A = this chain, B = another copy of it.
């Protein structure tokens, strides 16, 4: 998979035209635009927002169910739950049948915040793609998915190999 290079590669490497660099800059811009909304308004972090938005309607999930739906790891979720509880936006009960499991749901206050934020982030979402046609948006999403799958495959390979080619 990792093959040889030639001298040209080295001479011509330009960060500005490096695909992963562009992706990162793109992602940072989008992420900042959206997260500013709920951070400035309610001091919510990305993890907190994700947790809330998953609990929003599908009330009463365990932490690990949130992990499955949010592409966050359990540490992240655990911390988001903690700080949301501190802010009284989320309530945690213990599952009667399996006392390792938590039963998480938004409080009324949490739901109110959530409902308040939704239109704001939706507006940002709309503004981000306002000059794209519906087709373009579809294409963008499907290409991103393709690349993402490639990336995930690569990551899988790496952690499997753990580094051996010189």
Q: Tell me, yes or no, whether A50 is within 8 Å of chain B by CB.
A: yes
Q: A11-B57, A154-B127 are in contact. Are A148 and B30 (CB under 8 A)?
A: yes
The CA of A43 and the CA of B1, in the complex, are separated in Å by 21
Interface string of A9-25 (1 = CB under 8 A from B): 11101011011111111
Please indicate the chain B residues that have their CB under 8 angstroms from the CB of A9 in the complex: 118-119, 122
Interface size on A, residues (CB 8 A): 74
Q: A28-B27, A148-B25 are in contact. Are A129 and B19 (CB under 8 A)?
A: yes
Please indicate the chain B residues that have their CB under 8 angstroms from the CB of A29 in the complex: 148, 151-152, 155
The segment out of A79-87, A95-103, A135-143 that lies at the interface is A135-143
The CA of A1 and the CA of B122, in the complex, are separated in Å by 11
